[in-house]
Structure 1
Amino acid sequence: MTPEDHTAISDLLNRHGHLIDSGDFDGAATLFTPDAVYDVTALGGGILVGATAFREAALALGDANPVAHHVTNIVLEEAGPDRVHALSKGLGVMTNGTVGSVTYEDTIERVDAGWRITHRIVHPRRRPLHP
């Protein structure tokens, strides 16, 4: 993975919160492959496949969505010439001021359009010192 790849992948992950928080679902869809899997089972949302499912789930949550998503602590591990595993932390700020923490576990692949997320698992962080 080149330094340019590292920057492009980090930017990809960082853009997620900006696009989702502004309700730009079309922009957010460009971060993922068309058949991307978004696993929010641990949050009660099941497994979502594709941008339409992502959009519908977010709209169904309505005001229960966080008002701000923050991604931090990005760690990238090369998994092949065009594949990277990414681990990052997410903080979600709710309308009442409470904050939740998750870990994002992503598979990211280089496609014709550039680096895109093909699979994401969201793990909520509810207990300290626990995987």
Structure 2
Amino acid sequence: MTLAAEDRTAITDLINRHGHLTDSGEFDRMHELFTADAVYDVTNLGGGVLIGLAMLRDAALTLGEGNPVAHHVTNIVLTGTADDCVHALSKGIGIHADGTIGSVTYEDTIVRGDSGWRISHRTVRARRIPLTR
């Protein structure tokens, strides 16, 4: 599937907004980014698999001060896999209050519905070792 320029822009904006909403604590707006039944897999970070917007919100609130103070996303690569479904691969940088920095890879399945593009599945993997898949 070839993605139209306006779809690429909308999906890139969707991925970019995640950090803005998360960093400002606007967890009640996650429906603007994720489907209601979204799967958010942070097993690699020790957090397990979160299903649904309420679990996403609760996990972020439970982390509290352990959350990064800033989420930055880069290197977004989009691949159309089927009508109204896109695979996105991107890099994330998290900056913590103590100044430490972490890097992750986001793997997203993004679907188009009545409300536009939304992330239906996200897997987050920490980057701890250079030059590995």
Select 1:55's aligned residue among 54, 57, 65: 57
Structure 1 residue 81, shift from structure 2 partner: 1.2
Q: Deviations over 1:77-127 (max 9, x none)?
A: 000110000000000000011100000000000000000000000010000
Separation (CA, whole Å) in 1 of partners of 2:121 and 2:24:
22
Separation (CA, whole Å) in 2 of partners of 1:126 and 1:55:
26
Q: Which residue of 2 aligns with 1:107?
A: 109
Aligned-pair Cα RMSD in Å: 0.6
Q: Which residue of 1 aligns with 2:11?
A: 9
Percent same amino acid at aligned positions?
65
Q: Which residue of 2 aligns with 1:91?
A: 93
Give the gaps of 5 or more residues in structure 1.
Answer: none
Separation (CA, whole Å) in 2 of partners of 1:114 and 1:100:
31
Matched residues, number? 131
Separation (CA, whole Å) in 1 of partners of 2:59 and 2:69:
15
Q: TM-score, normalised by structure 1?
A: 0.98
